[in-house]
Amino acid sequence: MSEVGLRKLWERADGVFFRQHPTRYYHIRNAYKGECEGEFFSLGAHNADRRRIILCRVNALQEPLPDNKVVKIPFLAFADEEISDTDEILYPIMRDIMVDALQRERER
């Protein structure tokens, strides 16, 4: 399967997850090969097997994104870390990522 075909397959699977779990706002999964390569590169040297994608369907105020949009956030797990796929675990991680991004934007 081509890289474009694989990307479309993952995007469909991401959308299916949220349709099957309508009360969920976040989901974490392994990154597929080459997914968000540039973003992961910007996170510094790391083993590719630590790459995760956090999917988010709400904004910073916990309001649903328009048109059922899903945002992909590249994330590196610690070498021995297992991250539970629950909103209770993923929300604080996403909140910290959003706060950090906002602070960096204000410093510009």
- Report the pLDDT value the prediction gives residue 1, as an integer from 0 to 100: 66
Low-confidence ranges of the chain (pLDDT < 70): 1
Closest CA to 30 of 47, 45, 42: 47
Check if the beta carbon of residue 18 is closer than 8 Å to that of residue 65.
Answer: no
Q: Residue 84: what pLDDT?
A: 94
Boundaries of every domain in the chain = 3-107
Cα separation of the two ends of the chain = 41
Q: How far apart are CA 88 and CA 48, in angstroms?
A: 26
pLDDT score at 15: 85
Q: How many CB atoms lie within 10 A of CB 57?
A: 19
